[in-house]
Structure 1
Amino acid sequence: MSNNLTLNIEKIKQEKNEIDVLADIFFHAVFGEKISNEDLERFKWYGIYAQDEKQEFFELKIPLSMGELNLQQIKTLSLISKEYANNSLVFSSNQKVELKDIKIFSLPNIFNLLQDVGLETSFEAGHTVRRVLTCPINTIDDSQIFNVSELANKLNETFIGNKKFSNLPNKLQMAISGHAEGCNIQITPDVSFNATKDNKDKILFAIKILDINIGYISSAQVINAAKAIAEIYRDFGDRENPELNSFQSLVKKWGIHKFFDVLNASINYKIQKNVQTKEHTIPRKPRMGINESNIKEQSYIGCKINSSTIHNTNLDFLSSLLEKYQASKIRISHKGNIIILDVPTSQALNLAKELEKIDFNPFA
C-alpha cells in the first residue's frame, strides 16, 4: 500500500463503509476486473489480501473466536486448502487460519463453505474492534479464577459485524482472561479484562489499559465498559495524522488519568480503585503435553506444530484421530500450536503417540 493511500485512509472509509464491500468482492470474483487500491484496502476488513501486483493470487485470513475449531470446521478448512489454496494452510500465532494462493473467483465458494460451518472473516482487519483474545485453556484449566467463555462470546457478538464499530481511527484489540495475570498472548492488548479476587473472595475484573491497571469492575459490567472504551476511541482518536491514530496514541496524548476520568463519566457505575486483591498462588498448568482437564474423565493435549504450513494430509490425519479417540475440538495457542480440548483420559496417551507421528508433537 502506498504512502499516499495511507494518508487517505479516512477518505477511503468515508466513501464506502468497508463492511458493505462484500457485494464488490463477489462482483470481482465473477467478472475478474482489476481491483482498485481503495477496494483492496477495504477488502482487508474481510481478511482478503492481494499477494502480488497483478492480483493473480490472494491470501485469506480467517479469525477464530477464542481460537477454537470443531471437527467439522477442521475438515472444511482441509477441503478448502486442497481445492482452492494449494495446500497452504497455516495456524497463526494470532489465533487465525491463513490460506494463500487463492484465485479471486474462488472466494464465493470458499465463503459459502466457511458459512456452512460457522466461520466468517468480517472484521479480520481494518479499523475495527477485533475478536477478543482469550487463554486457549479457558474452561478446562482449574487454575483459572473465572470461566470467561460467555463474556468472550458476548464481546464478539457486541463488536464483530457491528457498523458502529467498523470505522475506528485504527484497530482496537481487547483481551479477557480468567487468570489474574492474564494470558500469555505475545502482545500487549489495548484493553484487558483479567479476573481476580478481592480479600472477601469476590470475583472482580481488573481493567488494564495498555497493561496499566486502572481499577476493578464486576463481570456484569465488562461488556458495558468495553463498549464505552471503544466509543471513546472512535469519537476522540486522531483521524488526521495516520502516525497518531492508534489507541496508544490517544492514551498517551490524554494521559492515563484523563482517560480514566472520561471512561468513568461514560458509564453508569463507578470503577473501583482501592481494592485489595488476593495473590493468586495456584500455578498455571503447562499447555503442552497431556494435562488433566477440570472436566471429569477428560484431558487436554498441547501439541507443538513442527511446520508453520500444515499439509492437508496431516490435517486430515488430525481429524481422523480426533474421531477415533472421541475428541471434537481444538484451540490454536498464541504461539501457533494447538491444544486438543476434550480427550477421554483413558485414550490420551494413545492419541498423543499417534499425533507425534504426524508432526503434532505433544512431547516436544
Structure 2
Amino acid sequence: MPPATKRKKGEGQWALGYREPLNKNEENKKNDDGLNVRRRIIDIYSKSGFDSIDPSDLRGRFRWMGLYTQRKPGIDGGKTGALEDEELEDRYFMMRVRIDGGQLSGPQLRTIADVSTRYARGTADITDRQNVQLHWVRIEDVPAIWEALEAVGLHTMEACGDVPRVIIGCPLAGIAADEVVDATPRLREIHDRYIGSPEFSNLPRKFKTAMSGCTSHCTVHEINDIAFVGVVDEAGETGYQVFVGGGLSTNPMFAQSLGVFVKPEQTAEVWHGVTSIFRDYGYRRLRSRARLKFLVKDWGAAKFREVLEKEYLGFALPDGPEPAAPLARRDHVGIHPQKDGAYYVGFAPRVGRVDGELLGVIGDLAERYGSGRVRTTNEQKMVILDVPEKDTEALADELAQHDLQVRPSTFRRQTMACTGIEYCKLAIVDTKQRAMDLIDELEERLPDFDQPLTINVNGCPNACARIQVADIGLKGQLVVDDDGEQVEGFQIHLGGRLGASFGKKVRGLKTTSAGLTDYVERVVRRFDEQRTGGETFAEWVHRADEADLK
C-alpha cells in the first residue's frame, strides 16, 4: 500500500475504508445516532430529571437537539480547562433555536418570546449565525418547548453537533432591490430534505452553510464550510459561485472558490455532493483537524471540484464568474427601500442581547408597522420588513424607546460578542457585559467617530465572534496586571479583513479587561488622526508603525 494512502487512512476517512472510531467522539457517534436522543429526552430524561441523563448523551448527543449544559455560576476563568465537564456544568441548558435564513414570522417571534419568558428566565441572545439562544432551560421543560416551537414551524434539531447546522441567508432575501438572486427556495429545499436526515447526522465535525444573492455579502461566505454566492454569468443568467473550506477557530482559513457556475435548480444536488465529500473523506482521527477546511487545504480547490464532479455529481459544472466585491457595511442596519415599494428597518440591540419581553415588543411593533415579518442577521442585529415609508420614522422612534437603535453609533453597530463566561463552559472571560460597557464608554469618549470599525469580543480561542476578521479582534485570556495579579483580559488582533487577511497580532499586545476602553480609544484616535482619504482601519493597521498600534 502506498505511503500516502496509509497516511490518509490514518486520518480515519470512511471513503478509504477506515470505519473504526479513532477517538471518543467518533465512538460515541458510532454507538448511537445523535438524532435518537430526542426520544430519550421526551420519554425518559424529562420525566426522571437531570440525574437520569446518560453522560454520553448529556455531553455528546444532546447537541444534535440544540442543547449544551451551561456553565455553573461563580467558576472563574482560571478553572476553564482545568476542571472536568461535570465540575464546570450546571444542571441547566443553553438551547439554540434554529432560524434558517434568519426568517421569522410574527407567530414564530411571539412563540420564542413566550418560551423565553416561561422557560428560560427571560433570556435570549441573537447569535452571529442568526439563531436565538436561550439559557436556564430545565430538562423537564424541553418537550413543552419543542411542542411550542414546532407548532409554528421552528425547531432546535441539529442546531449544534457534528451535523449541517443552521443555513445562514440574507435577511433581505426576496426583499432587497439590488439582490442578485433570492436563495430562499433553495435554502428551504436543503433544509426540508436533509436536516434531521440520518444521511448527514454523523459528519466529522460541524458543517456551516451560507446561501445568498446579497450584494453586501452579509452571509460572510469567506468563512463558511460551504457557501453559495449569487453571480451573473456571461449570458446574463443568475446562479451561484461555490466556496468551500472556510472556518476560523485556532487555525483560520478562508474558503476557496471552486470556480463553477451552479444553476439555482442544481443547488441542493451540489450541496449534497459537497456535504457527502465531507462525510466520506473528512478527517476523523483528531477533532482539531476534522473541519472541512483541512481537507480543502490538503486537496486544493481543483481536486475538490474534480472529486465532486466525478464521484458525486456525475457531470461537470461549467466555469463561473467570481462574485463582485462586498459593500463597506454588511449588516443591513438602517431604513432602506424594498423592491416592492415598502421599506425595511434594521436595528441594533447591544451585542445581540435581548430578552423575552423585548422580543414580544419587537413582535408588536412589526405587526403594527409592518406585516409582522422579522429577520435576524449574521451580525447579531434584527430587521423589521414591509414598513410603509410614511411609518419608518415613527417605528424608528418607538424602537429607540426600547434602546433598539436604527441609526446607531459605529460602536453599537459594529461590536459583536460571543456568550462568554456567563454561560459558556469554554470561556475564560466575560464578553457580553464587557462589550456593552465598551460601547457606552466609547460613545461617550468618541462621540464624533463615524468610520466603519468592527470590534469582535470572544471569551476563548474558538473564535465564535469571528475575532480574526475584525478590525479589532479581542481574544479572551487571563493576563497579569500592573500589580502582578492574574485578571481577565484580551489578546488583541488588528486589521482583519474578510477574504483578504486575518488580524495582525502585534508582539505582546494584550490588555486587561479594565484597561480595554483606554486601549481602544487610543488606537482609534491614532487611526482617525493618521488616516488618508478613504483609508479603512485595516489598511491603516497594515501600514502603521507598530508603536501606534500599542
**TM-score, normalised on structure 1?**
0.91
User: How far has the Cα of 1:286 moved from its partner?
Assistant: 6.8
Matches within 5 A, 1:241-320: 241-265=286-310, 266-273=312-319, 275=320, 287-296=332-341, 298-306=342-350, 308-320=352-364
Secondary structure at the counterpart of residue 235 of structure 1? helix
State which drifts further: 179-188 or 21-30.
179-188
Q: Which amino acid aligns with 1:119?
A: L
Q: Which amino acid aligns with 2:55?
A: N
In structure 2, what is the Cα distance between the partners aligned to 1:322 and 1:18?
37
State which drifts further: 41-50 or 207-216.
207-216
Matches within 5 A, 1:44-193: 44-51=63-70, 52=72, 53=86, 55-179=90-214, 182-185=217-220, 188-193=223-228
In structure 1, what is the Cα distance between the partners aligned to 2:256 and 2:351?
36
In structure 1, what is the Cα distance between the partners aligned to 2:214 and 2:376?
18
Task: Indicate how the Cα distance of structure 1 residues 269 and 284 shifts in structure 2: closer, same or farther if over 3 A, else same.
Answer: farther
In structure 1, what is the Cα distance between the partners aligned to 2:285 and 2:389?
56
CA RMSD across the alignment: 2.4
Match of 1:25 in 2: 41
Judge conservation of contact 1:181–1:194 (CA < 8 Å) in 2: no
Q: Deviations over 1:256-277 (max 9, x none)?
A: 222111011021331223x467
Match of 1:233 in 2: 278
User: How far has the Cα of 1:217 moved from its partner?
Assistant: 2.1
Which of structures 1 and 2 has the bigger CA Rg?
2
Q: Deviations over 1:147-174 (max 9, x none)?
A: 1111111121222111101111112112
Secondary structure at the counterpart of residue 43 of structure 1? helix
Judge conservation of contact 1:179–1:196 (CA < 8 Å) in 2: no
Judge conservation of contact 1:306–1:361 (CA < 8 Å) in 2: no
In structure 2, what is the Cα distance between the partners aligned to 1:357 and 1:119?
29
Task: Indicate how the Cα distance of structure 1 residues 301 and 104 shifts in structure 2: closer, same or farther if over 3 A, else same.
Answer: same
Q: Which amino acid aligns with 1:29?
A: S
Structure with greater contact order relative to length (CA < 8 Å, sep ≥ 6): 1
In structure 2, what is the Cα distance between the partners aligned to 1:358 and 1:243?
42
Judge conservation of contact 1:207–1:213 (CA < 8 Å) in 2: yes
Q: Which amino acid aligns with 1:246?
A: R
Q: Deviations over 1:7-33 (max 9, x none)?
A: 301110111100111121121110113
In structure 2, what is the Cα distance between the partners aligned to 1:314 and 1:100?
16
Would you say how many aligned residue pairs link Structure 1 and Structure 2?
Answer: 358
Match of 1:197 in 2: 232
Match of 2:445 in 1: none
In structure 2, what is the Cα distance between the partners aligned to 1:139 and 1:46?
30
In structure 1, what is the Cα distance between the partners aligned to 2:209 and 2:220?
11
Judge conservation of contact 1:327–1:343 (CA < 8 Å) in 2: yes
Judge conservation of contact 2:370–2:384 (CA < 8 Å) in 1: no
Secondary structure at the counterpart of residue 166 of structure 2? coil
User: How far has the Cα of 1:284 moved from its partner?
Assistant: 8.5
Judge conservation of contact 1:143–1:282 (CA < 8 Å) in 2: no
Q: Which amino acid aligns with 1:258?
A: K
Task: Indicate how the Cα distance of structure 1 residues 279 and 229 shifts in structure 2: closer, same or farther if over 3 A, else same.
Answer: closer
State which drifts further: 237-246 or 152-161.
237-246
Q: Deviations over 1:275-302 (max 9, x none)?
A: 4679689998971111111123x11000
Task: Indicate how the Cα distance of structure 1 residues 142 and 30 shifts in structure 2: closer, same or farther if over 3 A, else same.
Answer: same
Judge conservation of contact 2:178–2:215 (CA < 8 Å) in 1: no
Judge conservation of contact 1:143–1:284 (CA < 8 Å) in 2: no
Any unmatched runs of 5+ in structure 1?
A: none
Any unmatched runs of 5+ in structure 2?
A: 1-20, 73-85, 246-254, 409-550
